[in-house]
Amino acid sequence: MRLPLSWLREYVDVNVDAAELARRLAVSSLEVERVQHVGVADTDGNIGLFRVGKVVEAGKHPNADRLQLCRVDVGEEEPRQIVCGAWNFGAGATVAVALPGALLPGADETLGEAKLRGEVSRGMILSERELQLGADQTGIMVLDNGVEPGTPLADVLPISDIVLEVIPTM
């Protein structure tokens, strides 16, 4: 059984780290097989590079039929240009964005700016799968419109968590 620490904290005041919690659970009622971090790594400011974005403009890439060229407000002075391969959203959509320098879950290298078919992409608009929030990679994860652009994504979604894999011993 997988027990996310964020879920447990909704019901119990947990004031120890995951390793100590695992030790205490093993003594009292559960065998903890493994403590695992899932989602975005919360090290070296990485989690701060994931933000809520508001798509200001979205349209066909001038040099590629299957790409969309977007301008996305991520709470900075000017919107960022981002190239995206998904088409399930458009102008006005609220989306999850990773900025250059972000390390995506499961990635070995940080995200950089990239030139795609002659246009610079200054970030990445994300799907559920890219954040390890689900298996859906058929399109971009569209968020509720009430969230302010630039809001840390971790304030809106559980993008980083610790999961205890436990076996009841009773």
What pLDDT, in 10s, does the model give residues 36-81?
A: 888 999 889 999 999 999 999 999 998 988 999 999 999 999 999 9
pTM of the model: 0.81
Largest CA-CA distance found in the chain, in angstroms, rounded: 63
State residue 18's pLDDT score. 84
Q: What confidence tier does 25 reach under pLDDT thresholds 50, 70, 90?
A: confident
pLDDT(100) > 80: yes
What pLDDT, in 10s, does the model give residues 103-128?
A: 999 999 999 999 989 989 999 999 99
The span from the CA of 43 to the CA of 164, in Å, is 20
Mean of the per-residue pLDDT values for the chain? 89
State residue 169's pLDDT score. 67
pLDDT(28) > 70: no
